[in-house]
Chains A and B, each alone.
Chain A
Amino acid sequence: MSIQTRTHVKAAEATNPQAAAAPAAKMVARDVKVFYGAKQALKGINIDILENKVLALIGPSGCGKSTFLRCLNRMNDTIDNCRVEGLISLDGEDVYGRRIDAVQLRARVGMVFQKPNPFPKSIYDNIVYGPRIHGLASHRDEMDEIVETSLKRAGLWNEVKDRLREPGTGLSGGQQQRLCIARAIAVSPEVILMDEPCSALDPIATAHIEELIDELRENYTIVIVTHNMQQAARVSQKTAFFHLGDMVECDDTEEIFTNPRDERTQGYITGRYG
């Protein structure tokens, strides 16, 4: 199945050079099933994650949206009894394939978590940690440059440029989260996964992150899990609604929030789903 999809994608690119004009799928999930031991958490998910778009995953707690997010960069590998079936591909390549190294994959598909989790190191070292272990930079001036561009992209540079040697944990919550985004960007990922990146932040810090997400979209493909409907509506172009391990509906964000097709989606986003 994985091979078929791969050739299919390649063939489409070869026969249609204008395909770049239409939104291309950066990542594709086909019939993705996840089991934690005997318990099935995802029941066959199919989604195309479009390049340079923000996809929001919404749904009640336990619906499988975070599980799905974690499949995309194989974060579930670290969970003992977790089994993933089906195909997830990045640029047409099966991310669970033998040729893929999970650590390399996570450099291409970065992640930002719910609680800002900077390393207990300086702001500077937080940023260069990834590039250093991935061998992306070795010289001092290369690293300086990565630190500056990453912090600038994360909209944090002006606030911290004079105190790069101070610990990252000394920043405010919102700044810490932007530091984590800068850290994710530093290894030049193609896709950024965000698991409720603003749930621990105040409205101003949230607005900064949302503004940032909109800017990052130019260069990256973003998947965000959020419990905040308004946030999903504000930042994403596509929204997928998950429910009890199924993906109920995935459509343009505008459609989902004005005229959802499925009763369950309607019930959830209007606060009727109990």
Chain B
Amino acid sequence: MSNEHIVRSFAQELQRLSNLVTQMGGVAEAQVASAVKAVARRDVGLAARVMQTDQRLDEYEREIDAEAIRLLALRQPMARDLREIVSALKVAADLERIGDYAANIAKRSLALAQVPLVRPAVAIPRMGRLVEEIMKDVLDAYIERDVDKAVGAWQRDEELDDLYTSLFREVLTYMMEDPRNITPCTHLLFMAKNLERIGDHATNVAETIHFLVVGEPLMMDRPKSDASSFAVVTPEATDGA
């Protein structure tokens, strides 16, 4: 049995769809990296470019949606082909959202660049590096259809949650120390939240890869470490420290 479609044009169209997703992933990855760089370097020009480039991701998503819907209607795909197309739709939606978060980080970096640097800002590049690594692994896993790599990346999201929780506490402490820190720290908090959300969308993509290759949803319980929702930092505690 050959692995080739008898109808070659169908195989080519599926490949094209998959390529679009891969390209979109590359753009999303670059957007996140640039947004984090814009924060670290207080680079206003780069931030503006990230904000502009976001529409390219929107265009990719529209193109992938249209292509997927066309294939569903015209080819009535089954089994792996069906999963391939549904996965493209889902991954594109996650990547689009990742792009939105990257653009938002870039936007906030403009505000952040107007006020003096606060120390917790160094956590953003650190979180950013981890997010970039996770995204790279997930996108490689998509290209290679590598379930193990996808699951590995999926599990690393825990580290990201830990970083986010510790940054959350740190930022609250800074705000208590000096009200002038509130503006930059609030932006940092949202940036960190955006990075944490990007990580969540990357894990969605990892789950989609699992479904695409194995045919079943990933049933493992992912360790959830984002404890920031429960974090309470009181002035007394800060004084004591």
Contacts and interface: CB of A to CB of B under 8 A. Distances in A.
Interface of A: 229-230, 233, 257-260, 263-267, 269-274
A103 B3 CA distance: 46
A260 B5 CA distance: 17
B78 A269 contact: yes
B241 interface: no
B78 A229 contact: yes
8 contacts: A260-B79, A265-B79, A270-B5, A272-B2, A272-B4, A272-B6, A273-B6, A274-B6
Given A258-B79, A259-B215, A260-B79, 6 more contacts: A258-B82, A259-B83, A264-B1, A270-B5, A270-B81, A272-B1
A266 B80 CA distance: 7
A233 B77 CA distance: 12
Nearest to A261: B215
B79 A271 contact: no
A229 B76 contact: yes
Contacts of B6: 271-274
Contacts of B177: none
Please list the 9 inter-chain residue pairs (A to B) with the smallest Cβ-Cβ separation, ordered nearest first.
Answer: A259-B215, A269-B78, A267-B1, A270-B81, A257-B78, A271-B6, A266-B79, A270-B79, A270-B78
Contacts of A272: 1-6
A270 B76 contact: no
A203 to B, nearest CB: 13
Binding site of A, secondary structure by majority: helix, strand, loop or mixed? helix
A145 to B, nearest CB: 42
Interface in B1-53: 1-7, 10
Given A229-B78, A257-B78, A258-B215, A271 B83 contact: no
Contacts of A233: 78
Contact of B1 (A229, A258, A259, A274): A274
Interface of B: 1-7, 10, 76-83, 215-216
A100 B79 CA distance: 42
Contacts of B80: 266, 270
Contacts of B77: 270
B1 A271 contact: no
A258 B212 CA distance: 10
Contacts of B10: 271
Contacts of A270: 5, 77-81
Nearest to A264: B1
Looking at B4, B7, B78, B80, the one whose CB has the most chain A CB atoms below 10 A away is B78
A263 B83 CA distance: 15
Nearest to A255: B215
Contacts of A267: 1, 3
Looking at A266, A269, A272, the one whose CB has the most chain B CB atoms below 10 A away is A272
Nearest to A266: B79
